[in-house]
């Protein structure tokens, strides 16, 4: 799927990106809409979530977000059990409430390039299989958010 300069809007529905890429343009979630990534990529444009919407990393470990992400207060970025999300290099000042939801399998947030997080929070479920790490030894995470760990331990590399 290509979206070079176009606009895609989900109006209280679900927009699924299944084994596909949205390059550039604008993706907007209105109301209680959901953007569901299943080995999907959205980057190079602007992704805007509402305060009641969800960006759902639903399946797979080949999910990528990049560009400008406007995840309003109340908007959720959920990384499901046994899935992963890679954030492209950039500064994310409105990433919103990020949830790593391991229930026994790996849930991961991977940093690709230099990534700065601010203006939101990261919460890890009560399981030790939640991970935040750099994709390579040259990637850097600058964290200016609150990270809450509900488990007895978590891994941040």
pLDDT above 70: percentage of residues in the chain: 92
Confidence tier at 137 by pLDDT (50, 70, 90): confident
Q: What is the pLDDT of residue 157?
A: 63
As a whole number of angstroms, the distance between CA 87 and CA 89 comes to: 7
Residue 1 has pLDDT above 60, yes or no: no
| Domains of the chain, residue spans | 7-156
Scored b (16 or more CB within 10 A) or e, 49-71 reads bbeebbbbbbbbeebbbbbbbbb
Per-residue model confidence as pLDDT tens digits over 3-51: 555 788 888 889 999 999 999 999 999 999 999 999 999 998 999 999 9
Q: What is the pLDDT of residue 74?
A: 87
Within 13 Å and on the Cβ side, how many CA atoms surround 79?
33
Residue range 123-150: mean pLDDT, rounded: 87
Q: What is the pLDDT of residue 72?
A: 81
Per-residue model confidence as pLDDT tens digits over 71-100: 988 899 999 999 999 999 999 999 889 999
């Amino acid at each position: 799927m290509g979206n070079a300069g176009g606009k895609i809007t989900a109006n209280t529905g679900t927009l699924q990106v299944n084994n596909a890429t949205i390059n550039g343009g604008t993706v907007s979630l209105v109301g209680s809409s959901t953007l569901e990534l299943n080995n999907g990529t959205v980057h190079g444009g602007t992704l805007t979530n509402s305060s009641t919407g969800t960006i759902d990393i639903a399946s797979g470990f080949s999910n990528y977000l990049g560009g400008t992400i406007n995840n309003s207060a109340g908007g959720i970025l959920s990384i499901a059990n046994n899935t992963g999300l890679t954030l492209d290099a950039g500064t994310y000042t409105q990433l919103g409430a990020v949830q790593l939801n391991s229930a026994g399998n790996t849930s991961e947030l991977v940093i690709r390039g230099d990534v700065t997080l601010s203006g939101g929070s990261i919460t890890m479920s009560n399981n030790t299989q939640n991970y935040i790490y750099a994709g390579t030894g040259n990637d850097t995470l600058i964290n200016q958010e609150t990270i809450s760990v509900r488990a007895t331990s978590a891994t941040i590399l």
